[in-house]
Chain A
Amino acid sequence: MSDTQIRRHTIIAWLEDKPSVLNRVTGLFSRRNFNIESLNVGHSETPGISRMTFVTLGTGRDLQQVTTQLDKLINVVHICDVTSEPAVVREMALIKVTATSQTRGEIMQLVEIYRASVVDVDMTSLIIQIVAPEDRVNSLISLLGNFGIEEMVRTGRVAMVRGNSSHGHNHGAREWTEVAPVDASLPVEQNGYH
């Protein structure tokens, strides 16, 4: 990877579910001047551990800084860049679009083509839900723009590496659940620290 070429990276981080952990992460992003495009946090399969997916734009060096600085936060348990991994990458969007009796049929056609769904109907509008890779979400939104978008919410990208990959679960969850408490009563030198 070239150091100077700017690329979009998808990164997953596992965080201890502790007070203000998100504050620590976003504070770091802003303090280090990292360029974050989207960020999504929720529960992971392990109780007490949250999973964050974020997208950052930068060079190889930028990426190295993002991951190593983030990894230094005490509550960040594990971090991996899945950009070049075979991964399922999705985003969800809810789009409230203006729909009259004349345009409703055409919108429904688009919904079908995009394998989106209509989750709410009103006399003057529809709420459309789409779960898809980001570019398909973008494409549908741009088409629906022709009918008038009244409101929209997007979750940002979430990602999961396919199959029995060395990333994600094995390198993540199992590693932290198996970490033994460190005997901190020993003198530092004996514990291996200065």
Chain B
Amino acid sequence: MSELKTGGQIIWESLIHEGVDVVFGLPGGAILPTYDDLYKYDYPIHHVLVTHEQGASHMADGYARATGKTGVCLATSGPGATNLITGLATAYMDSTPVVAITGQVPISLLGRDGFQEADIRAISMPVTKHNYLITDIKDLPAALKEAFYIARTGRPGPVLVDICKNVQQMTMEFTYPDTVYLPGYKPSLLTPDQDVIGRVAQLINEAQRPVIIAGQGVSMAKAENELRTLAEKANIPVATSLLGIGTIPATHPLSISWGGMHGEAYCNYALQECDVLFAIGARLDDRLTGAFSTFAPKANIIHVDLDPAEMGKNLTIHTPVVGDALMTLRALLPHVEPNEHPAWLAQINEWRAESVERDILTQETDELVAPYVMRQLWYATNQGDATIVTDVGQHQMWEAQYFNHTKPRSLLTSGGLGTMGYSLPAAIGAQIAKPDEEIWVVAGDGGFQMTMPELSTVMQERLPIKIAIINNGYLGMVRQWQDVFYNKRYVGTPLYNPDFVKIAEAYGIPGRAVTSKDDVYEAIRQAQMTDGPFLLDFQVEEFTNVYPMVAPGKSNADMIRRGHPIENQGA
């Protein structure tokens, strides 16, 4: 007879079985038995104490995005669990594998509005791939096994396991299950049928103006090489979604950057004019497509995704292909014929030249603008040899436009949910996963303040994270919408900011404010040369807006470009 283990021991030993060596969490009454077992049994798992549970779920998310492994976060019942929700919703929208473990009040108090009781199973249901409430220790090992299995397989996503306090204290003989029994869940490495592959190949071979859109699914399937081979074999330009940035190096001659609301104008022109659109591992959301009915109007749209529910969810898909990105590309490659598309590529290059001409960096200005900072950051990181974790807003778009990502998983950003406050905690998770990677937080002055207290976690863990705040004194993207759609009525967008350098100093983090264009590169170098974390407060020109811009509900063909009359009204 094997020895009896407590529920708390079972949790830690299950995590070890799953290869987990770090968890992000914050203790409280309903999860204390589990924390106590970590202390008593000294399991080889590093617990990272966060300042707010939202940080824990973002850290688990950042850890997972940086590595592809499953991130784990831990919280107590009630407010601890509800604080995780923003991070879980972020992970759910962007298909990140995360397992959240929460304590729950003891069974005797369930449903009685006990202290710190919240029905987190019901609350988290719409923002998790699956979840569990464990009221019997016998169900615990299988639930944990299933949680990890569900989180990382198929289309990944967050799974929450809520465990009653007394279950953590109960004991049972423990063996971690080898198998899962989930009759309703059959994720598989789908290869589309030969005839589907044949039809897709024929469309690509006959296309005059083909374009590929690569999404995050390509990275998840580790299919970057196959994607590149396909593009090079038939000379097809490759656009990406925001989350697909890095699937093809932005410096590759066939890369046409990324499309959508703030994507490159020439990329949007190519998407609107193409005759065959091969979208793979991207869910084609409204920020990428603009008004659904107006997107790629001349194209036969081929949509490859392993989630059947994505087929036709937003767009009318002419050629739906349910399949894994890697398997599909491998099956497809032998059937794709070499091609040149000289006229089409020349046309795109013409659009590209026009985009460059209208670019803010082409226009001489002495003012410190964020696009310049982003481009200098790119130069300073040896042209993209770093992981950038962005927040949400104008700086996020500028980073994506001016930092030319050349390696996969090098941009971590909240694309779907658009979660301000994501960057600092996600960067902490990423840095812990990759201690030797150069990691930069790029955040706006608004979003940074949402999770700024995690600076204490940076110091506690001695992480060498570099922070670049793009400080324009406004909730900039919201202000931009007020510029364009609300006749400059700036309600609720001007910010009363602290001195960010002093804030950093208070945490023991050196920092520097940058107000002049001339100091940008040197300041970045100073941050890089400094051992440990460093904060740069880039006080940029206030009223610069992100262009191009597609108004919500409008066609990508109707971009507001730089120099457009609306912009000229700017302050």
Contacts and interface: CB of A to CB of B under 8 A. Distances in A.
A27 B179 contact: no
Contacts of B177: 184
A193 B308 contact: no
Contacts of B326: 194
B187 interface: yes
A194 B326 CA distance: 10
- Describe A's contact surface by its main secondary structure: mixed
Contacts of A16: 183-184
Interface string A182-194: 1111001001111
Contacts of A64: 311-312
A23 B311 contact: no
A192 B190 CA distance: 9
A90 B299 CA distance: 45
A61 B184 CA distance: 23
A65 interface: yes
Interface residues of B, number: 40
A192 B153 CA distance: 9
A61 B129 CA distance: 23
B179 A193 contact: no
A74 B180 contact: no
Contacts of B309: 65, 68-69, 71-72
Contacts of B68: 194
Contact of B182 (A23, A68, A182): A182
B189 A193 contact: yes
B3 interface: no
Contacts of B148: 184
B152 A74 contact: no
Interface string B323-336: 01010000000000
Interface stretch (B71-79, B118-126, B399-407, B498-506): B118-126
Given A65-B313, A184-B145, A194-B222, A176 B183 contact: yes
A68 B320 CA distance: 14
Given A74-B184, A193-B153, A182 B125 contact: no
Given A19-B133, A184-B145, A194 B220 contact: yes
Interface residues of A, number: 35
Contacts of B130: 73-74
Interface in B291-330: 307-309, 311-313, 316, 324, 326
Interface in B68-125: 68, 121-122, 125
Contact of A27 (B126, B153, B222, B312): B126
Contact of B308 (A23, A31, A71, A181): A71
A24 B189 CA distance: 26
Interface string B143-186: 00100111011100000000000000000000001111111111
Contacts, number: 86
A75 B150 CA distance: 12
B122 A184 contact: no
Contacts of A182: 149, 179-182
A20 interface: yes
B4 interface: no
Given A61-B312, A193-B189, A194-B222, A24 B125 contact: yes
Given A27-B126, A64-B311, A74 B185 contact: yes
A36 interface: no
Contacts of A153: none
Interface of B is mostly: loop
A19 B111 CA distance: 15
A100 to B, nearest CB: 47
B349 interface: no
Contacts of B307: 72
A27 B124 CA distance: 11
Given A193-B187, A193-B189, A185 B178 contact: yes
B353 interface: no
A68 B311 contact: yes
A4 to B, nearest CB: 10
B230 to A, nearest CB: 18
A25 to B, nearest CB: 11
Interface in A37-78: 61, 64-65, 68-69, 71-78
Nearest to A31: B126
A42 B126 CA distance: 24
Contacts of B122: 20, 23
Nearest to B17: A185
A193 B184 contact: no
Looking at B129, B152, B183, the one whose CB has the most chain A CB atoms below 10 A away is B183
B460 interface: no
A179 interface: yes
A173 to B, nearest CB: 10
Contacts of A78: 184
B154 A179 contact: no
B325 to A, nearest CB: 9
A178 to B, nearest CB: 9
Nearest to B152: A188
Given A16-B183, A20-B121, A179-B183, A192 B188 contact: yes
B182 A74 contact: yes
B184 to A, nearest CB: 4
Which of A3, A69, A179, A194 has the most chain B CB atoms closer than 10 A to its own CB?
A194
B149 A184 contact: yes
B178 A188 contact: no
B450 interface: no
B142 to A, nearest CB: 10
Contact of B179 (A71, A181, A194): A181
B495 interface: no
Contacts of A69: 309
B566 interface: no
A184 B184 contact: no
Contacts of B121: 20
21 contacts: A16-B183, A16-B184, A20-B133, A64-B311, A68-B309, A74-B150, A74-B182, A74-B185, A77-B183, A77-B184, A181-B180, A181-B181, A182-B149, A182-B182, A183-B178, A184-B149, A184-B177, A185-B178, A188-B153, A193-B187, A194-B324
Given A71-B309, A74-B182, 10 more contacts: A16-B183, A24-B125, A65-B313, A72-B309, A182-B149, A184-B177, A184-B178, A191-B153, A192-B189, A193-B154
Q: Which 3 A-B pairs have the closest CB atoms?
A: A181-B179, A68-B309, A176-B183
